[in-house]
Amino acid sequence: MKRTKRRTRRKVGKKSLIRHYGRAVAPRTAEEYFAKSELFQDRWNRVVHVVSKMRAEGVSLSRASREFGVGPRSVHRLGGSALRKRANGRYAARASDRLLRVLAIPTDEGTREIALRDSRQASILGQYWDAVQRYLQTGDASAIQKFRGKHITAVNRARITLLTDLDQLSRLGNAGVLSFESLYARAA
């Protein structure tokens, strides 16, 4: 008789959790993300990149997943909530998603990792990083001024105000703390 893998239910308060043995489950919090292996974290970041590429450039799932070195089935399994099936049977990215992203954000003391569960918040943070890099490379602060008084809302509902003090940004940039490659925390 062939053994099959079982799903088990475990009561946690009023909710019951279903554990899938041998199957990767998408992380919902930063703690869950960092509790996973480095290999899983790398795969998760690639899945999020695939969905972002599909949304931004309108490329197919297979093309975007090939570019980031992850299989389309893995993208569908881990990031399926961010995809929708079109009438022709192909997948497209939804306008926004709730996939977890652990990103770096500049603060007075350096960069700090925050967890976001909203692709729109992640886009704002990406535009902010672009503005910071433009300021550090060219001295043009006009793009940073658009972010004065703006904030990002993290998973734990903490409001993090974006750093727009040019002296602080210059100090961090000269210290080598700010680099665009550091946007994704521990990214490949």
Q: Domain ranges in the chain?
A: 27-93, 101-182
Let me know if 105 is exposed, middle or buried by CB neighbors in 10 A (0-12, 13-18, 19+): buried
pLDDT, tens digit, 9 for 90 and up, residues 33-86: 999 999 999 999 999 999 999 999 999 999 999 999 999 999 999 999 999 999
27-93: CATH topology: Arc Repressor Mutant, subunit A (1.10.10)
Whole-number Å distance between alpha carbons of 188 and 177: 18
Q: Is the pLDDT at 132 greater than 70, yes or no?
A: yes
pTM listed for this prediction:
0.79
